[in-house]
Amino acid sequence: MPPRSEPIETAAAEEEETRGAEPKVEEMEMEMEPLIPGLPDEVAEQCLLHLPFPYQSLARSVSSSWNRALSSPSFIRSKAKAAAALSLPYLFAFAFDRSTLRLQWQALDCRTSRWFCGDGRVKAYDEGTDRWRAVAGGAVPADVKRPYAVTGGGAGEDGKIYVVGSGLDVGVGTVVAAAGGRGAAERVEWQVVKGPPAFADLAPCNALVLYA
């Protein structure tokens, strides 16, 4: 009779299980990595609550533990509760690139007079993840001529952008989910509302959505 191979097969299986367990051990070690060495995580999270808004996306790249902490639902809830006391003033400018007519936003730190430059794309804020997502779509419709005045929709009109141009023609941009279902990228779709002929010589200087 040929020798039995069960002990060899058992040893091979145990070795395979050991190899499969190695990544799990590494993941556990990463999860146990302290947010700030020398501080309890509870204290470190309180420090991260004071992180200014423009630095949050950058801070997520510091380490996996920071990314996990800043993205966790509990941290986002704590940040929302502390918003009144910890929020700092920033001037958000919603503007156009004159050469491309593309929308973009920039943020000015009112305390330090420092600009935090965006990447030139329209973004939508996701309250659930506390992140900004890039929005695709075309530029301002060619029918809406410069100069421009821009405003966003008020309460109950989430996702609306109003661009008022010469002659008070209005480009109404609606941020919608692209085809592909949940999780698909968002894009801006435009509709143009033409101003009456009597407004032909008017140019906008400001625009604001008010409820009356």
Q: What is the pLDDT along the chain (212 residues), one digit of tens a residue?
A: 555 545 555 555 555 555 554 545 455 545 568 888 888 888 988 888 888 766 777 788 888 888 888 888 888 788 777 766 776 777 777 676 767 766 666 777 777 787 776 655 667 767 666 667 777 777 788 899 888 888 876 555 566 888 899 999 999 988 887 666 555 578 888 999 999 999 999 988 888 877 64
| pLDDT at position 116 | 74
* Residues 34-46 as b or e (16 or more Cβ within 10 Å = b): ebeeeeeeeebbe
Supply the range of the domain harboring residue 80: 6-85
**Amino acid at residue number 45:** E
Domain count, the chain: 2
189 and 94, same structural domain?
Answer: yes
192 and 143, same structural domain?
Answer: yes
| pLDDT at position 25 | 47
185 and 166, same structural domain?
Answer: yes
> Helix (H, G, I), strand (E, B), or coil: what is residue 131?
strand
94 and 181, same structural domain?
Answer: yes
126 and 79, same structural domain?
Answer: no
**Amino acid at residue number 154:** G
Assigned token pair, 154: 């008020």
| pLDDT at position 201 | 92
pTM (whole model) above 0.75: no
Place of tokens 């808004």: 53
* Residue 30 placed within a domain: yes
| pLDDT at position 20 | 52
Domain stop point among 21, 55, 85: 85
16 and 73, same structural domain?
Answer: yes
Assigned token pair, 183: 């999780």
**Amino acid at residue number 30:** M
136 and 97, same structural domain?
Answer: yes
